[in-house]
Homo-oligomer: A and B are copies of this chain.
């Protein structure tokens, strides 16, 4: 998506070999105009999949999920909650998520009734790197017998394996921008496929 690509190139910062800092417009300060344009881009990609629910994980996925849900006709949004420990009860479904960035094991969880069996779920998140968060969200859907009809990502780190693993598994994945590498602080983006 050209507007996001231009924002990454003009404002984003590459740090080391694998950190893409975009918190000045995406996940600490939010450029709301860009956010809703991103929502429209995901809606254009996934409308034909007829999602009836948008699923994400707190915290930084929430704004993007809301924008996508709005563009798709105000679908409900459900966000999984993070906690350090599993909370076992019959009302909650959960999945483990390992963060390579923070080297932490977390559990994400949702109240079961908010992810009903048979739902057609569009997963939205800000970053895709190793794919752990998306796999955790897909696990919640699988446990609930809901169908994942697509995965929409803002920034994919194309040099990490998560995106290609999802594509090879046949998942309908749309990353609005794909970073192919970072060299000397310069972020190199993959040419847009739109």
Contacts and interface: CB of A to CB of B under 8 A. Distances in A.
Interface of A: 23-24, 28-33, 35-36, 58-60, 62-63, 66-67, 69-70, 74-79, 81, 110-111, 113-114
Contact of A81 (B28, B76, B114): B28
Contact of A66 (B29, B59, B67, B111): B67
B111 A30 contact: no
A119 to B, nearest CB: 11
A108 to B, nearest CB: 12
Number of copies of this kind of chain in the complex: 2
B62 A28 contact: no
A70 B32 contact: yes
Given A32-B77, A36-B74, A62-B63, 4 more contacts: A31-B76, A35-B66, A59-B62, A66-B66
A157 to B, nearest CB: 22
B111 A77 contact: no
A75 B114 contact: no
A133 B110 CA distance: 24
Contacts of A114: 24, 28-29
A61 B35 CA distance: 16
Contacts of A58: 58-60
Given A29-B114, A36-B70, A77 B63 contact: yes
A111 B28 CA distance: 8
A96 B150 CA distance: 40
Closest 6 CB pairs of A and B: A58-B59, A59-B59, A32-B74, A29-B114, A33-B74, A30-B77
Nearest to A23: B111
B30 A66 contact: yes
Contacts of A81: 28, 59
B59 A79 contact: yes
